[in-house]
Amino acid sequence: MEDAGLLSAFKALAENTVNYRHQMCKVYQFLTQHPDDADELSVVIDNPNIPASSVARVICENGFEISADTIKRHRKRLEHKGCKCPVKEAK
Which pLDDT tens digit goes with each residue over 37-86?
A: 999 999 999 999 999 999 999 999 999 999 999 999 999 887 777 777 77
Predicted TM-score of the model (pTM): 0.69
DSSP 21: G
Whether the CB-CB separation of 27 and 66 falls below 8 Å is answered with yes
pLDDT band per the 50, 70, 90 thresholds, residue 1: very low
Could you tell me where the DSSP H helices lie in 37-79?
38-46, 52-61, 68-75
